[in-house]
Amino acid sequence: MIHWHVKPTAEEVALAARDIIIDAAHRAIHVHGIFKLVLAGGTTPERVYSLLTKETCHWEKWQLYLGDERCLPIHHPQRNSQIIQRTLLDKIDIPRQNIHFIPAELGAVKAAAKYQQIINLASPFDLVILGMGEDGHTASLFPNHQYIESELVHAVFNAPKPPAERVSMSMTALSQNRTLLRLITGANKKDSVEQWRKGENLPIATITTLGNEITLLDQSTFGDT
Ligand code: 6PG
């Protein structure tokens, strides 16, 4: 059952996402003393990350992971880790050891093997954030691509969204969450949202939750269908 939460603007999506993340953090820290959060790459969550920096949080209790990473040099501006560094990490006081990024600079195979060990120990997560591409991909899980289901982390070599070489948490790993938060903004996503609503099993639709799921969209993505 998808809970579609349609907001008038992308800004209101970001504000709602910020509130959901802060609430999940409070609950997780109250229940088990830490907040294990999987961050999304891409541009949609940037505003959410920026809003989070304005909050007063027990950052030392946050453990951050990444849903996927592009195989680029470690300081390449197009790395998801660099986007998150600029929009969030440079502005909050979080211990370095709490940040568990994907060593994608090692190449997809080595990085996936290393990250698999980290995810195996960290799972389940309190909150997983996902974005969605125009084709309905999420993380680096793309339509009409085959992935080894038993893996927690995939080495990806043929991504249609550059760069072709990536590392991605798997559907199985991303589904190990107590709360799943999907963020979708931009009229360019409208067709995929429509296909999804009609039952198309796009990668974004394959990620499930152990608890509750929230899909936040702006009005431009949600036609009248
Ligand atoms: C990536 C992201 C990717 C992203 C979607 C949406 O590495 O590109 O992980 O899965 O979330 O492509 O991207 P935008 O948020 O920029 O539209």
Break the chain into its structural domains and give their ranges. 4-222
- Is residue 136 lining ligand 1, measured as CB closer than 6 Å? no
How far is it, in rounded angstroms, from Cα 75 to Cα 80?
10
| pLDDT at 31 (0 to 100) | 98
Nearest C-alpha neighbor of 66 from the set 172, 165, 168: 168
Query: The tokens 């080495």 sit on which residue?
Result: 155
Q: How confident is the model at residue 223 (pLDDT cuts 50, 70, 90)?
A: confident
Nearest C-alpha neighbor of 154 from the set 182, 120, 112: 112
The tokens describing 121, both together, are 């120990």
How far is it, in rounded angstroms, from Cα 62 to Cα 50?
16
Averaged confidence pLDDT in the chain: 97
Classify strands 153-156 and 35-39 as parallel, antiparallel or unpaired: unpaired
Give me the amino acid identity at 160.
P
Q: How confident is the model at residue 2 (pLDDT cuts 50, 70, 90)?
A: confident
Indicate the top mutation candidate among 140, 156, 181, 217 to test ligand 1's pocket, ranked by most ligand atoms within 8 A of CB.
140
Share of the chain above pLDDT 70, in %: 99
| pLDDT at 216 (0 to 100) | 98
- Is residue 189 lining ligand 1, measured as CB closer than 6 Å? no
How far is it, in rounded angstroms, from Cα 169 to Cα 175?
10
- Residue 217: what are its φ and ψ, rounded to 5°? -135, 150
173, pLDDT greater than 90: yes
Q: How far is the CA of 61 from the centre of ligand 1 (A)?
A: 27
Buried b (16+ CB within 10 A) or exposed e, 98-119: bbbbbbbbbebeebbeebbebb
Contact yes or no for 184/191 (Cβ under 8 A): no
- Is residue 161 lining ligand 1, measured as CB closer than 6 Å? yes
Which residue minimizes the CA distance to atom 11 of ligand 1? 131
How far is it, in rounded angstroms, from Cα 196 to Cα 204?
9
CATH number of 4-222: 3.40.50.2000, 3.40.50.1360, 3.30.1330.10, 3.40.50.720? 3.40.50.1360
Q: What angle do CA 134, 140, 143 make, to 5 degrees?
A: 55
Q: How confident is the model at residue 3 (pLDDT cuts 50, 70, 90)?
A: confident
Give 180's strand partners.
128, 213
Q: How confident is the model at residue 212 (pLDDT cuts 50, 70, 90)?
A: very high
How far is it, in rounded angstroms, from Cα 20 to Cα 82?
24
Q: What is the pTM assigned to this prediction?
A: 0.98
The tokens describing 22, both together, are 């802060």
The 10s digit of each residue's pLDDT in 68-120 is 999 999 999 999 999 999 999 999 999 999 999 999 999 999 999 999 999 99
